């Protein structure tokens, strides 16, 4: 992976101390999304990683909401479909749902019951992994549909929060890491 390409992406991530609560350093990808060269570089890097890692992927599953910004262009590049995993009550038709704990309460995620077929190979994508609760819930949903989860893929990992440990045996990849 080119250090210059990675630097191009890293330079477009900005930090906001004490957001959303005191003591939290928020990593914002908005500048990355605004810069077409940096965003294309991000998708290039993720595409290169997936092509080198997996000979066959059936779907990219993106988490509500920033996984929706990264997942579709990545799926398009790979010539595969995109599956949305949304907050409860946002998807029509039969769904599978799972509740999970947040630092400040509970939340629920859903996926349409026919989103994937048993044995299909899926990569789950989001912008950031913090405590791992949302990503872990997404994995649970796809396991219920009997998908084969190849990897959980994020742009940013907050290492100190040890979210990847919640994913247990599921492979995990982050492009950028912060303490």
Give pTM, 2 decimals.
Answer: 0.95
Q: Which residues are CB-neighbours of 42 under 8 A, at least 6 positions away? A: 9, 32, 70, 155, 175
Cα(18)–Cα(66) distance, integer angstroms: 21
66, 96, 110, 157: the catalytic one is 66
Cα(15)–Cα(166) distance, integer angstroms: 25
Contact 125, 74 (CB under 8 A): yes
Question: Does the domain spanning 1-177 belong to CATH 3.40.50.720?
Answer: no
Per-residue pLDDT reduced to its tens digit, 62-113: 999 999 999 999 999 999 999 999 999 999 999 999 999 876 779 999 999 9
66 a catalytic residue = yes
144 a catalytic residue = no
11, 103, 117, 165: the catalytic one is 103
Residue 139: CB atoms within 10 Å: 23
């Amino acid at each position: 992976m080119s250090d210059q390409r990675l630097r191009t992406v890293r330079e477009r991530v900005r930090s906001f101390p004490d957001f959303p609560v005191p003591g939290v350093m928020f990593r914002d990808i908005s500048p990355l999304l605004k810069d077409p060269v940096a965003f294309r570089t991000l998708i290039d890097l993720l595409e290169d990683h997936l092509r080198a890692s997996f000979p066959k992927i059936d779907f990219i599953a993106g988490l509500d909401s920033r996984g929706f910004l990264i997942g579709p262009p990545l799926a398009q590049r790979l010539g595969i479909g995109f599956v949305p995993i949304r907050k409860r009550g946002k998807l029509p038709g039969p769904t599978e749902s799972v509740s999970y704990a947040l630092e400040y309460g509970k939340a629920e995620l859903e996926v349409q019951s026919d989103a994937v077929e048993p044995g299909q190979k899926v990569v789950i994508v989001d912008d950031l992994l913090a405590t791992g609760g949302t990503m872990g819930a997404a994995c649970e949903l796809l396991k219920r549909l009997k998908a084969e989860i190849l990897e959980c893929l994020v742009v940013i990992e907050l290492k100190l929060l040890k979210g990847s440990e919640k994913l247990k045996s599921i492979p995990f990849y982050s492009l950028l890491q912060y303490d």
